[in-house]
């Protein structure tokens, strides 16, 4: 053995040393150093836009082909093409489009990932969250936080379609996934309908006799009309911030913080001709176009968007938004900001 080693070049000796340690599940850090510690983030997720023109017919086809019973949830997932089949719109966030047809129920269950619903088309439909029925109308945001029971139903005569946002890729990376069926299709209604909104939705007022200590917002329903009216009022008098214009965060009314510990939600308006300044941040985001049209430049990709489209802005991608139309544009977005902030990993920088 000693003789053989003496005849080997130093490179060969190294290679043989690396092979030698393989069975011991060891590997030299110096081989992976650059891959492990790049100077700055480079997301595997790519900037991408899903057109409502493509999504909607595919979604309606699902309505013909599979029932809610068969599917558990009738959802088309928005698969980021950079993520190799990972069920994710960015590396940390999941997004999907869900359809519930008239008369259908998506049965009650709960899971450790947190979820949000942003309603796209509806004339009547509901999600019941921990015994409270929450009505769903276009533009509404409905929360189903970590481990809350939820079932969906449609009592109207038109389909209900919404955007699902979940922290699934994150929960999966942390290997903390739990799931449970309720048993019955629908949970019993144990609270007045929409009571979280009546208790906490007035803005600046909260029931003084209630002690809310959960990590998520006690307000589970953010109806669109008041969000839109607030944006419209603000846009009339201010251009808002440099990078996102007039943007509002949906808050936990008790803490003023994000709606859930893993995801933050935002609504913003871009006036005709408005162009935001480019920046980047370590949080990633999924955007949904509530109204209007325009485009976003994301790491050099021009993502043209129209009403009801969805687009992804990966972590650390330089981006700005532009409304090149003659109407106001309203965007809803959800991000992983609270996670990055809690872990001291949130960074933001103007475009280089």
Q: Which of 75, 95, 161, 260 binds ligand 1HN (CB under 6 A)?
A: 75
**Among 107, 133, 150, 308, contact with ligand 1HN (rule: CB under 6 A):** 150
Which region, judged by CB under 6 A, interacts with ligand 1HN, from 58-66, 163-171, 181-189, 259-267? 163-171
Nearer to ligand 1HN, 75 or 235 (CB): 75
Residues binding ligand 1HN: number (CB under 6 A): 12
Among 178, 181, 187, CA closest to 153: 187
Q: Is 87 exposed, middle or buried (0-12, 13-18, 19+ CB in 10 A)?
A: middle
| Contact in structure between 148 and 111 (CB atoms under 8 Å) | no
Stretch that binds ligand 1HN, among 3-11, 161-169, 170-178, 344-352 (CB under 6 A): 161-169
Closest CB 150 distance from ligand 1HN, rounded Å: 5
119 contacts ligand 1HN (rule: CB under 6 A): no
Q: What is the DSSP string of 138-199?
A: TT-EEEE-TT--EEEE--SSS-EEEEEEE-HHHHHHTT---EEE-SSSS----S-TTHHHHH
CB of 220 within 8 A of CB of 161? no
- Whichever of 168 and 247 has its CB closer to ligand 1HN, that residue is 168
What distance lies between CA 132 and its chain's CA centroid? 23
- Our finding on whether 166 is near ligand 1HN (CB under 6 A) is yes
Site string for ligand 1HN, 43-62 (x = CB under 6 A): --------------------
Q: Is 129 helix (H, G, I), strand (E, B) or coil?
A: strand
Residue 136 · residue 162 · CB < 8 Å: yes
Residue 206 within binding range of ligand 1HN, rule CB under 6 A: no
Task: Examine residue 168 and tell whether it contacts ligand 1HN (CB under 6 A).
Answer: yes
- The alpha carbon of residue 229 and the mean position of all alpha carbons in its chain are separated, in whole angstroms, by 23
Q: Following CA atoms 309, 293, 296, 288 in sequence, which dihedral angle do they give, to the nearest 10 degrees?
A: -30
Among 96, 153, 218, 261, binds ligand 1HN (CB under 6 A): 96
Contact residues for ligand 1HN, defined by CB under 6 A: 73, 75, 96, 98, 106, 111, 115, 150, 152, 164, 166, 168
């Amino acid at each position: 053995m000693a003789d053989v080693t003496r005849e080997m070049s130093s490179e060969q000796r190294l290679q043989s040393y690396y092979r030698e340690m393989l069975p011991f599940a060891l590997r030299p850090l110096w081989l992976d150093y650059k891959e492990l510690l790049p100077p700055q983030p480079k997301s595997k997720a790519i900037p991408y836009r899903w057109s409502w023109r493509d999504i909607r017919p595919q979604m309606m086809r699902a309505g013909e082909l599979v029932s809610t019973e068969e599917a558990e949830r009738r959802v088309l997932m928005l698969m980021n093409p950079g993520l190799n089949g990972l069920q994710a719109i960015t590396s940390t966030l999941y997004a999907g489009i869900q359809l519930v047809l008239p008369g259908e129920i998506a049965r009650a269950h709960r899971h450790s990932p947190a979820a949000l619903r942003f309603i796209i088309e509806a004339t009547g439909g509901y999600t019941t969250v921990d015994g409270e029925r929450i009505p769903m109308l276009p533009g509404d945001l409905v929360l189903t936080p970590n481990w809350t029971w939820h079932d969906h139903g449609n009592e109207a005569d038109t389909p209900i379609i919404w955007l699902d946002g979940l922290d699934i890729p994150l929960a999966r990376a942390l290997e903390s996934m739990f799931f449970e069926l309720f048993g019955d299709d629908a949970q019993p209604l144990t609270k007045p309908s929409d009571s979280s909104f009546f208790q906490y939705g007035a803005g600046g007022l909260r029931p003084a006799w209630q002690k809310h200590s959960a990590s998520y917002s006690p307000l589970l329903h953010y109806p669109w009309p008041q969000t839109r009216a607030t944006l419209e009022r603000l846009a009339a008098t201010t251009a808002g911030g440099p990078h996102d214009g007039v943007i509002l965060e949906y808050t936990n009314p008790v803490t003023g913080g994000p709606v859930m510990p893993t995801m933050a939600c935002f609504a913003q308006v871009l006036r005709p001709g408005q162009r935001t300044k480019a920046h980047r941040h370590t949080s990633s985001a999924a955007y949904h176009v509530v109204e209007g049209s325009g485009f976003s430049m994301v790491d050099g990709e021009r993502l043209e968007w129209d009403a009801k489209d969805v687009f992804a802005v990966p972590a650390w991608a330089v981006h700005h938004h532009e409304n090149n139309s003659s109407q106001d544009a309203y965007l809803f977005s959800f991000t992983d900001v609270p996670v990055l902030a809690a872990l001291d990993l949130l960074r933001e920088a103007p475009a280089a």
